[in-house]
Structures are given as structure tokens and as C-alpha cells.
Amino acid sequence: MPFVKVNHEKCIGCGECYKVCPSKVFVIRRGKSYPVRMDECVMCRACITHCPTNAITISHREVEKKLSRLYE
């Protein structure tokens, strides 16, 4: 289950998330951004801070799950 979510009602397909993501988690299809490589995400939040429409959010529950796996 992905922890980065894109609100496609807000997304304008500008590609900023794709440009700034060091892991290239996103692809742009049909004028919208889609997180497709969630296992590569390093949770740097660059996509969130650069999104001009605030269309990207992180599900904190999923972040906590991923972090807990790192410390097991």
C-alpha cells in the first residue's frame, strides 16, 4: 500500500515531483503524476515541498510502518 498519495483533482501534471525526486518514484501519465516506485521512496518529502498545488501527501501510518521495519 503506497504511502505517497497524489490528489488528481489538484494535480496539474507539471512534473515538479518527478524532477525533484531523487528516487524517481513518479511518472507523468495523461497529464497527472503517479507514484509507481514506492519501494524506492526515501521519504525526503521533496515532492511535497515542490508541488505548487499541494496535491501530494504522505500517509503517516504507512511511514511509521516503513520506519519500524528499518529498525527491526
User: What's 59-72 look like in SS3?
Assistant: CHHHHHHHHHHHCC
pTM (two decimals) = 0.76
Domain ranges for the chain: 4-70
DSSP string across 2-34: -SEEE-TTT-----HHHHH-TT--EEEETTEEE
Higher pLDDT: 40 or 62? It is 40
Residue 27 or residue 67, greater confidence: 27
CA-CA distance, 4 to 18, in Å (whole number)?
13
- As assigned by CATH, the class of the 4-70 domain is alpha beta
Which cell numbers hold the place of 37?
516506485
Confidence band, pLDDT 50/70/90 cuts, at residue 61: low
